[in-house]
Amino acid sequence: MLTYSFEDIKPEPLYLHLYKCIKNDILNGVLLPKTKLPSKRSFAKNLGVSNITVENAYAQLQAEGYIYSVPKKGFYVTEIPKAVHKIKDQQTEKNIKKHIQNSYIDVSNQYEVDLVSNRTHTDNFPFSIWAKLMREIISEKSSELMEKSPWGGIMELRSAISTHLKQFRNIEVEPEQIITGAGTEYLYTLIIQLLGYNKIYAVEDPGYKKVAQIYKSNNVACEYIPIDNSGIIIEELEKHHADIAHISPSHHYPTGIVTPISRRYEILGWASREKGRYIIEDDYDSEFRLAGRPIPTLQSIDVMECVIYINTFTKSLAPTIRISYMVLPKKLLERFYDKLSFYSCTISNFEQYTLARFIKDGYFEKHINRMRNYYKNVHNKLMKAIKNSKLADISTISEEGSGLHFLLKIQTELSDKEYIEICRRNKINVSCLSQYYNEDNDNNIDRQHILIVNYSGIRLEDVSRTVELLCRPIL
């Protein structure tokens, strides 16, 4: 009969030790397939352990499929297919190490000044207030915090957003029309599932590259539509047979173009001409328009229910707050409910409660106002510094009064690539308008030599240094 030693074994249950011994023998071929194992009783006696020990070991082996039982006969060893041999791939191992690095490199830390990533500076986030609210939520909402969030988000947050939208964007919607999600990227993928994979999605060219990337990654047709000085060109939408237009009429990136009211109506007209046409109005960053009153959104003048409005708190608050939302027209809300409400909300309700209170108690408004002032100061100081620099005579600033960036056209013999490279060597990260077009077209002189200056990440005290670094290539 099989015999195993129970002396000097690890401090583990006896049955576990026995299980391991038998399993090893099966895997090593000592116990061949179809071998009958000893009966529990006699095995226990032989090993000097209790029946229950053998029983537990057999139960575990059986559960894992190493042995099988034949009623009234006993236990037998299973035939286990041989595992294939491990392939060591040196190259993959090497790449893994590369990814370890890539995963943790924060681009903004590689440079002294970063004018590319348009993120807000974290210094300015009212962290102590946020922390205070988090503490309040922890102590007041212990039971709510443990509940699952409804699919569209908790009502407190959606109500707060609805009130905010009314006050700041003149958008009048029911809280129920607001669907929250962990980032706009996630919401785009929900929109695709909502509107359909057989649709043609149109994005602006030039434009924010990630939007097209997401459509392509989600396997839907994505067309690049040229823009003119008023925004997306309607004729081009028609020409490309677009069904869905994904646009930023209040703040086009990177040109800064604001679509005037006449074009807005034309876009709405385009959408209403054919059934199934929709507009995704990406209002990203609209809080930081620095001059005049905000321009009416497409959502607020849309009477045909063909606009999906989308915005995020990631930019207006802090990159770590991954809360975005979309406003569905009522007719789409029903479709969303039928098709997609099986998805769980992707935001923890703890963050939802905190943000809801942050908005409701007026902190969000205060924060926006403070940030607008701050950015205005950075902007003005930056303009002045450019005027007093070597750039003054060889550059033109163009800004459309929206958002936290402007274009700087430079008279230079350097190609865009060369300019960027010299900048990077000087520890300043900058991008050019030409990079935001779908295809590089070096022959198109209008697109060349135009730097995009995202100043939301520059500290006030770093403005002079920024301009100094920007001048380096032309010295």
What's the distance, CA 339 to chain centroid?
Answer: 22
Q: How far apart are CA 276 and CA 264, in angstroms?
A: 18
Residues in region 239-268 near a second copy by CB under 8 A: 258-266, 268
Q: Does 269 bind a second copy (CB under 8 A)?
A: yes
> Edge to edge, what strands does the sheet with 431-432 contain?
395-398, 405-410, 450-454, 431-432
Which residues from 418-447 bind a second copy, rule CB under 8 A? none
Phi, psi for residue 345 in degrees, rounded to 5: -65, 140
CB of 15 to a second copy, least distance (A): 9
Q: Which residues inside 126-185 make contact with a second copy, applying CB under 8 A? A: 127, 131, 134-135, 138-139, 142-143, 145-152, 155, 174, 176-177, 182-183, 185
272 sits near a second copy (criterion: CB under 8 A):
yes
Binding flag, residue 362, a second copy (CB under 8 A): no
Position 217 contacts a second copy (CB under 8 A): yes
Per DSSP, the three-state class of 450 is strand
Residue 322 lies near a second copy (rule: CB under 8 A) = yes
Choice between 346 and 434, CB closer to a second copy: 346
Structural contact between residues 307 and 264, judged by C-beta atoms closer than 8 angstroms: no
Residue type, 58: Y
Residue 8 backbone zone (phi > 0: left; psi -120 to 50: alpha; other: beta)? left
Q: Which amino acid is it at 44?
A: A
CB 345, min distance to a second copy, A: 8
Task: State how beta strands 395-398 and 405-410 pair.
Answer: antiparallel
- Helices in 199-292 by DSSP H: which ranges? 209-217, 234-239, 261-273
Q: Which is nearer to a second copy, 125 or 224 (CB)?
A: 125
Residue of the chain from 337, 412, 415, 464 that contacts a second copy (CB under 8 A)? 337
The verdict on 224 binding a second copy (CB under 8 A) reads: no
As a whole number of angstroms, the distance between CA 459 and CA 121 comes to: 8
Q: Interface residues for a second copy in 36-75 (CB under 8 A)?
A: 56, 59-60, 63-66, 68
- Is residue 345 near a second copy by the rule CB under 8 A? yes
147 versus 235: smaller Cβ distance to a second copy:
147
Residue 19 interacting with a second copy (CB under 8 A): yes
Residues near a second copy (CB under 8 A), total: 114
Q: Which two tokens stand for residue 39?
A: 């009966």
If one asks whether residue 96 binds a second copy (CB under 8 A), the answer comes out as yes
